[in-house]
Structure 1
Amino acid sequence: MKTVSFTCELPNGVHARPANHVEAICNRFTSEIKWTNNRTGITGNAKSILSLIGTDTLFNDKCSIIIEGNDEDEAFSKLKNFIDTEFEHCDAPLESVTEDEGEFSPLPRNFGNLNAECVRGRAVSSGFGQGTLVRVGTVNFDSLTDLPDALGAKAEKNQLVKGLDALARTFRVQLASANATESDVIKAHEAILRDVEFKATLEGNLTKGKSSAEAVISTAKHYSVQLKNSASSYMRERELDIRDVCFQLLQAIYCEEEFSNQLVLNGPTVCVANDLTPSQFLELDKSLLKGLILTNGGSTSHTVILARSFAIPTLVGLDETKLSDKLDAQVLVDGNLGLVVTDITKPVSRYYAQEQHVKDTVESRQAEYRDQKGMTSDGKPFELAANIAHSIEAGPAFNNGAEAIGLFRTEMLYMDCTSAPDEDELYNIFCQALEAAEGKSIIIRTIDIGGDKPVDYLKIPAENNPFLGYRAVRIYEEFIDLFKAQLRSILRSSAHGSVKIMIPMVSSLEEILWVKGVLAEVRQDLRKEHIPFDEKIPLGIMVEVPSVAFIIDQCCEEVDFFSIGSNDLTQYLMAVDRDNEKVIKHYNSLNPAFLRTLDHIVSSVHHHGKWVGLCGELGAKGSMLPLLVGLGLDEISMSAPSISATKERLSRLDSRECRILLNKAMECRTSLEVEHLLAQFRMEQSDAPLISQDCITLDADVRSKEEVIKTLSDNLFLADRCRYRDKLADDLWAREDVFSTGIGFGFAIPHTKSEHIEQSAISVSRLANPIAWGDEEVQFVIMLTLNKHAAGDQHMKIFSKLARRIMQEEFRNKLMSAASVAEIEATLKAELELQ
């Protein structure tokens, strides 16, 4: 017998990821291996992830591993080395939403001033929706009392084995059609079903003379108690998965009618539950599910992840007692502000009607560009592509207007799995994407695994600086079979559509030549097997390591295209870890050095007659678009929802003006100078006058000061004069807090000089009826919003001039009696001398 004693140094304790490392090592040996947490006194089977998690091992817990068996010496050596050198590095931060311990960020003033009756919660999925509040039951094994009678021991064991096999088959069938998010959940449930300790607990309960139903329920309760009592919130959330798998196992052994937990929605519904299993969520009619409230849920639960993928507004962590008297009543869930409105008053309804109007207007406007090709105002084509991580995203991406897939991140297919997907699985995934593409091009990036994207089963050691470490193309030689299988699957799929191969993290010509050699071998193997593929499939590389920028000429001799990875190129060029708050201020894409590097890359590639695109978060930043157009890129790739909006912005840009802007930006000395230059360009480029008809409304049905400021701010957003309408409105309210801008005679002039306004504007609203404005009544509102970069005190000069004119009865009468927005526009321009 051998013993390894140590102290757990994992900040998050032994949760799923480190448990998987330990279990994988232990299962290589025949010896019995037990893990004991000396603090809790709990001993678990080190060959079982569930059993390891059940020891509730936390940071600084004293632990011991006892090994006994024929190969105990070798097992001891491996485990001792693992604990001493690798164990402390196999932890990783868990995705979470910051806990605020009851403190929530202030609500936007336009909403907060309504004093709506609402309950705050943590928003984990955005959007808003209204419906009847319905309490949905969770899987409660204590309520299952009328169980099937026990048969003989042999018959019960056969039933259990058949049920396990049937559920395993069900999971495999579900995986075949699941999207990426659903697939992750199903694979997690598969891991539970395969767990040796889980099966042993089931069989152990059967030997006590119980029926299969009793054995499953006892097993569920056993693990639920362990996980519920865990000090780790992450592991407490996994308890829901245990209950889910056990309930599905009951249905597989018997039938769904015998153990029914179907949730039927009869109309627009907001569901509230202590928690909800993933399978329960998937059963719900998503067309009727308008919101989800999980009182005990967490941000990492699989149910929450699924809710995000289906765009269901979701809150967690609410006090359910505050909702108990609202059951069967109408409520509204706001996943943007993080609240449930429990009394939908007329002002609240009007607020969300305006929100819906903005949403519908934006979607309708952008829909006009969805099916158009990306094009500047002077007719220069600019391909707009989508970034995806799974084939299921391809269809929606093209429906959002993508002209191609500029980046298929294949590493996501390898993560959160117990083993790598095989060649056929990858081939089928790529073919599904190509089917959705209908002839459009797809760039498939080979696995960018390692570093900041760990894959447990590859056992790549943790690193102090993963971004600069063992990742992407650098790991291919060690995992050559994995790389070849992926290349084979991509090549095979190329027989069914337009596919390109792209290699990440390239830093030298040697890496390109090595990849081409491997690719040649794979091609030759496919030819020998008479498997068709595109013999001329293009090969490209990511430009993210700065060294490549200086060998573009040599690279052009070996590859067909380039794609700039803006995220990594920025941090590598500026030597900034973008996850380090101490230096994050230096991670700035407006740095003139970065802009010069981009220009050098694009011009060098084009000089050699090759194609170059850009992928990464930079592509979707509207403020950067003029500079990207100025670079002369052939394509930019971004998240699919951003494509239509980018096409709309692109249609207003002149490529020649953008080039002049880029030249000026590259001559700037600081990022701040570039920011000012961009702001000035946006003000001049749109040629939007200070007063225009799209910012004027007549006889508006607006019933409060809040509605006025919201509606006018929303109009500026819809007119592309501001990006953050709530923040602009808050700036206006900050001025109102100092003094009311009502100036008498039924007029008000709210005003601000704000960083949130891009195009200075005078907005006008003549109301159908007077409203309260401080101590006065107002029926005519002239709102002045100037860009923070506007020169001097222009806004105060205009304010003073307006105030003086309003003192004149003739001017007031002109505005109040105007028959059209054009008449008001002309009057204001003339009186303020803005012609």
Structure 2
Amino acid sequence: MKSFSFSCELPNGVHARPASHVEAVCNQFDSNITWQNQRTGMSGNAKSVLSLIGTDTLLGDECLITIDGMDEESALEQLKQFINNEFPHCDEPLAVSDQEEDQSLAPLPRNFSNLKTAHIRGRSVSEGFGKGRLTAVGAVNFDALADLPEPRALVEEQNLLDTGIEAVIKSLNIFLASAQHTEGEVIKAHLSIARDNEFQQTLQENLVEGRSCADAIIATAKHFGELMKNSSSAYMRERELDIRDVCYQLLQSIYGNERFGSQNTLTEPTVCLADDLTPSQFLELDKSLLKGLILSHGGSTSHTVILARSFAIPTIVGVEGSKLSAFLDSEVVVDGTLGLVVTEISEPVERYYTQEHKVREIVATRQAQFRDVAAQTADGKVLEVAANIAHSVEAKQAFSNGAEAVGLFRTEMLYMDRTSAPDEDELYNIFCQACEAADGKSIIVRTIDIGGDKPVDYLNIPTENNPFLGYRAVRIYPEFIEMFKTQLRAILRASAHGNLKIMIPMISSLEEILWVKDILAEVRQELRKENRPFAEKVPLGIMLEVPSVAFIIDQCCEEIDFFSIGSNDLTQYLMAVDRDNAKVAASYNSLNPAFLRTLDHVVREVHRHGKWIGLCGELGAKGSVLPLLVGLGLDEISMSSPSIAATKERIAKLDSRECRQLLNKAMQCRTIQEVEHVLAQFRMTQTEAPMVSGDCISLDRDLRSKEEVIKTLADNLYLTGRCRYPNKLADDLWAREDVFSTGLGFGFAIPHTKSEHIEQSAISVCRLANPIQWGDEEAQFIIMLTLNKHAAGDQHMKIFSKLARKIMHADFREQLMTAQSCDQVEALLKQELELN
């Protein structure tokens, strides 16, 4: 008999996933292997996942492994090596989120926070908002099962159970073959439970004369569920879900989905609350009734979140279920834009979201006319607008949102959050799915950009001091040549089914391009020998993100077909700024004249050599910078798909010649502030809207609070194209109100601000159906003055003073209060304020 002891280093203790790793190692040997938790005194069979879980082993617990059998020597050696080297990496710490203390959450806009409504903050991962009954999903409730099947003869029940277990294992293996990322890890854990000796033995013990398979399965689920519930670890208690899932799958396998259907069936508008939700569980939910999703765990790149975005389901993560347990079965609002759950839906909250809905409907209707047409400027200059995606599941929604192509398929997400790299067939299937959604449109697939700042555990790349400058992207390919070749093979094979292009990240020299081309030629030759079809002319391009490439474009153009500017990295490399370092973040700014000159140089050079160039960084979706990108003469810009229709709409209003002149002017600036000023002036000249116009006047409105008035008027300025960020403009107005109320008496108020968030200065007018409280006064007639910060000068106070003086006159007030139309109000203000 051999034994050794150690301390558990797993942050979440021994739950299903790490237990399955231990079980896999132990089952290689014939010896009996026992795991004892010295803290609790509980022992378990190390060849059984469930037995291991039952030891309630937590972080820091002293454990003793005992081995007894013919191969105990080799088992001891391998187990020691596993516990010392691999076991600590079988799991990772969960992100613990205490939203009350999370300083990274942006302050809420005043229009909302002033409502003083009960809410819980979370992290937004899918925008929008929705209202529904809060319902917990994911976990199976065995107590809710009624009318169970009648028991048959024991031998029949035994056959049913054996067949059911085999079917579940087979089904899980099928799902595992195509599973991605975290989903694959969950399936592996479920597979280890289904195969577990103790699990199967408990099922057999519960299957006695007079009991059905269903009785035995439910008894087994409850037995192991109690083990989980009694754990000292909250995380371990939550892992009861693994047991419940497998047992319910077994019921469905034996009796069919008709008898044991999904318990996640929605029957009314619902906001779903889950610790976590697998992609398959998400797809089960009726999307017409799913109004929002709240997850305790999950990140912006998890498959479930990606699916939620593609179905436009408002989603927030990082909210502990216990904080919302008291509100189950109550109506809540999930706001995926602000990142919160409203738990008390008062009338002001209802009205707030009614206004939000109106704004979204108007914008969606307006942008719909641009969604499915090619983007071009007012003077006919074509600029392709493409989408950035991280998985094939995003492709369909991207093209539905108006993408003319996929300008960046970030493949590194396919390699992260898993224990090994995807194989060729898995990648091939993913790329084929994207091609099917593209329906002939082009897809630029960027080869893996991992290492350095995007670590992948199974590659064992050491941590670096300067990961952005280190061992990443194309630089790691020679060491991981087979992984690189596998990806190239998958892309080329998929090219037989669609219009794929290959793009290499982090290129800094011609040597790297030539090396990649040699490997690509080898892969092509291998595929020819195997008689595997692929497109012979798949374009090859590079990311233009390392500044050195800007000075060898002529040489690069001899070897490659296209370029795509990675504006995020090019900015930080050109300015020598780590964008994640808060102390130097102020220098990370793509409006730096040096950066603009670099962009102009590379676009000119690429076009001079007859090649194509796009931009796939975050800069592409910034409306304020878009005129500069149009001025550059880029062939394409790509962005997240929700921004596409809005970008096409903005492009249609621009003149490419004016944009070129703007770029020339910006490149002559000496500072970032000067560039910002030039851009602000340009935006003001784009629409010659008068300061007073009918589209900013409304009469006899049913608005019931100061918050509603300011929100409605700011939203209207956004809808009329005078403001890009209505919440920020409203915050500026509130900052003025905090100093002193702008109520003037006589039933009038003049809220006002000089703001960078107003692009076209405007006087907004709102006559209310009934007076509201405005500070210490009541107000029924609101005249809101919003002037552009860069152009206002002293105009702000001049207009304010003139308005205040006019309101002192009863006849002026009377004319405004009794006006029969918006035109009358417009004419009166223009005349009295001398604005014609």
Q: TM-score, normalised by structure 1?
A: 0.85
- Per mean C-alpha deviation after superposition, the further-off stretch among 71-80 and 422-431 is 71-80
Residue 99, structure 1, aligned to residue 102, structure 2 = no
Match of 1:323 among 314, 327, 337: 327
Q: Which moved more, 1:270-279 or 1:556-565?
A: 270-279
Hey, what does 1:445 align to over in structure 2?
A: 446
1:369 aligns with 2:370: yes
The question of whether the paired residues in 1 share the 8 Å contact of 2:544 and 2:565 is answered with yes
Identify which range, 717-726 or 194-203, moves more after superposition: 194-203
Residue in structure 1 matched with residue 733 of structure 2 by the alignment: 732
Which stretch shifts more, 742-751 or 570-579? 570-579
- Rounded to whole Å, the distance in 2 between the matches of 1:743 and 1:578 is 47
Distance 2:572 2:121 in 1: 35
In the TM superposition, residue 15 of structure 1 has moved relative to its aligned partner by: 7.9
C-alpha distance in structure 1 between counterparts of 2:498 and 2:415, whole Å: 23
Please give the alpha-carbon distance, in whole angstroms, between the structure 2 residues aligned to 1:237 and 1:819. 64
> What residue number does 1:764 align with?
765
Summarize the Cα distance change of 1:540–1:313 in structure 2 as closer, same or farther, 3 Å threshold: closer
Moved more, 104-113 or 666-675: 104-113
User: CA 1:488/1:206 → structure 2, altered by over 3 Å: closer, same or farther?
Assistant: same
Is the Cα–Cα contact under 8 Å of residues 138 and 276 in structure 1 kept in the other structure?
Answer: no
Counterpart in the other structure of 2:754? 753
Paired residues, number = 821
Tell me if structure 2 keeps the 8 A contact 1:2–1:76: no
Kept after mapping to 2: 8 A contact 1:592/1:671: yes
Tell me, yes or no, if the aligned pair for 1:153 and 1:206 is still in contact at 8 Å.
Answer: no
Distance 2:56 2:473 in 1: 34
In structure 2, the partner of 1:203 is 200
- 3-state SS in 2 of match to 1:416: coil
1:478 and 1:134, CA in 2 relative to 1: closer, same or farther beyond 3 A?
closer
Q: Distance in 2 between matches of 1:3 and 1:334?
A: 55
Quote the Cα distance in structure 1 between the aligned partners of 2:50 and 2:305.
Answer: 22
User: 1 CA distance for matches of 2:678 and 2:270?
Assistant: 49
Q: Measured at CA, do residues 820 and 63 of structure 1 come closer, stay the same or move farther in structure 2, by a change above 3 Å?
A: same
574-583 vs 552-561, greater mean Cα deviation:
574-583
Question: Does residue 187 of structure 1 match 2:209?
Answer: no
1 CA distance for matches of 2:57 and 2:670? 53
Report the counterpart of residue 341 of structure 2 in structure 1. 339
Return the offset for 1:397: 0.9
For 1:256 and 1:147, the matched residues in 2 are separated by 14
Question: How has the CA–CA distance of structure 1 residues 204 and 460 changed in structure 2, closer, same or farther, with 3 Å as cutoff?
Answer: farther
Q: How far is 1:715 from its partner?
A: 0.5
User: Is residue 642 of structure 1 aligned with residue 638 of structure 2?
Assistant: no
Structure 2 counterpart of 1:396:
397
Q: How far apart are the structure 2 equivalents of 1:492 and 1:230?
A: 49
> 1:71 aligns to what?
74
Q: In the TM superposition, what whole-angstrom CA distance separates every residue of 1:124-173 from its partner, at most 9, and x where no partner exists? A: 55433234566779423456698668889987776455334423454566
Aligned to 2:100, the other structure's residue is in SS state: coil
1:439–1:283 distance in 2 versus 1, CA, 3 Å: closer
- Does residue 82 (structure 1) correspond to residue 85 (structure 2)? The answer is yes
Task: Please report how far the alpha carbon of residue 626 of structure 1 lies from its aligned counterpart in structure 2 after TM superposition.
Answer: 2.2
After superposition, where does 1:471-550 map in structure 2 within 5 Å?
471-550=472-551
Offset at 1:556? 1.2
CA distance in 2, matches of 1:570, 1:202: 56
User: What is the alpha-carbon distance in structure 2 between the residues aligned to residue 11 and residue 321 of structure 1?
Assistant: 25
User: Which amino acid is the alignment partner of residue 340 of structure 1?
Assistant: V
In the alignment, the residues of structure 1 paired with residue 48 and residue 461 of structure 2 have an alpha-carbon distance, to the nearest angstrom, of 21
Change (3 A) 1:502 1:13: farther
SS at the partner of 1:759? coil
Check 1:371–1:693 CA distance in 2 against 1; reply closer, same or farther (3 A cut). same
Find out whether 1:699 has 2:703 as its counterpart.
no
Distance 2:324 2:651 in 1: 47
What's the CA shift for 1:284?
A: 3.2
Deviation at 1:772, TM superposition (A): 3.8
> Structure 1 CA distance, aligned partners of 2:784 and 2:690?
15
Superposition RMSD on alpha carbons, in Å?
Answer: 4.2
Partner AA of 1:697 in structure 2: S
Partner of 1:408: 409
Write out per-residue CA displacement over residues 198-243 of structure 1, whole angstroms, 9 at most, x where no aligned residue.
6233233246464665665566456656665677766665543442
Structure 2 SS opposite 1:286:
coil
Question: C-alpha separation between the residues in 1 aligned to 2:307 and 2:234?
Answer: 19
Q: Which amino acid aligns with 1:240?
A: L
Larger displacement relative to structure 2 (822-831 or 724-733): 822-831
- Cα offsets for 1:284-338 (capped at 9, x unmatched): 32212334567xx4456987776565443457446557437xx5x7654444452
Distance 2:355 2:795 in 1: 31
What is the alpha-carbon distance in structure 1 between the residues aligned to residue 92 and residue 545 of structure 2?
24
The residue aligned with 1:651 is 652
**Could you tell me how far 1:787 is from its partner in structure 2?**
3.2
Name whichever of 121-130 and 617-626 sits farther off.
121-130
Distance (whole Å) between structure 2 residues aligned to residue 96 and residue 416 of structure 1: 18
CA–CA distance in 2 between the matches of 1:28 and 1:509?
A: 49
Following the alignment from structure 1 to structure 2, what is the Cα–Cα distance between the partners of residues 279 and 462?
Answer: 35
One-letter amino acid of the counterpart of residue 677, structure 2: H
Aligned to 2:255: 254
Change (3 A) 1:146 1:375: closer
User: Measured at CA, do residues 56 and 655 of structure 1 come closer, stay the same or move farther in structure 2, by a change above 3 Å?
Assistant: farther
Deviations 1:338-358 (A, max 9, x none): 23354553x443332211100
Contact 2:48 2:197 in 1 (8 A): no
% of aligned pairs identical?
68
Contact 1:34 1:46 in 2 (8 A): yes
| Residue correspondence of structure 1 range 533-572 to structure 2 within 5 A | 533-572=534-573
| CA deviation string 1:464-499 (max 9, x = no partner) | 544334332233333333322322222222223322
1:609, CA displacement in angstroms?
A: 1.6
Letter in 2 for 1:671: I
How does the TM-score come out when normalised to structure 2? Answer: 0.85
- For residue 525 of structure 1, what is the amino acid of its counterpart? E
| SS, match of residue 623 in structure 1 | coil
Specify the SS of the correspondent of 2:703: coil
Unaligned runs of 5+ in 2: none
Structure 1 residue 272: Cα displacement: 6.5
**Structure 1 residues 497 and 147, CA, compared in 2 at 3 Å: closer, same or farther?**
closer
- Deviation, structure 1 residue 679: 2.8
